[in-house]
Amino acid sequence: MTTPQDPQQYIHRVAADEDGNRIGKVSQVYNDDSTGQPQWLLVETGLFGTRHSFAPIHGAHVDGEVVVLAVSKDQVKDAPNIERDAHISESEEDALRQYYSGHLGAAG
């Protein structure tokens, strides 16, 4: 198990859950507005990557060429639907944190 120093290295890697279930492909890393620290991964999911879901970077690590997330495939699939633009608003981030807080304890 290795962890890249630069979270941008997660981009273009396959994302999977800890059980090895393929979730999709990481297409972007989003930073927290106040801290500037990496907070969320945008994962292309669904057939041909037509859907995009946000997953917490907290607890994620690289194992070979795969980014292993600390949340399950179903949790990512059922996450709040947020538009994938250059910025996540504070209310959108709050919705993601609230959703994932039950799954991670400290997603953000």
The angle formed by the CA atoms of residues 89, 92 and 96, to the nearest 5 degrees, is 135
Range of the domain at 87: 7-104
Instruction: Please give the model's pTM, rounded to 2 decimal places.
Output: 0.84
Q: Is 1 inside a domain boundary? A: no
Please check whether residue 2 lies inside any domain of the structure: no
Rounded-to-integer distance, Cα 7 and Cα 50, Å = 23
Does the structure show a pLDDT above 70 at 103?
A: no
Report the number of distinct structural domains present in the chain: 1
In a domain, 32, yes or no: yes
Chain segment 3-15, per-residue pLDDT in tens: 455 788 999 999 9
Nearest CA-CA partner of 92 in 105, 108, 70: 108
Q: Is residue 91 one of the residues assigned to a domain?
A: yes
**Model pLDDT for residues 57-66, shown as the tens digit of each residue:** 999 999 999 9
Average pLDDT over residues 10-21: 96
CATH number for the domain spanning 92: value is 3.90.50.10
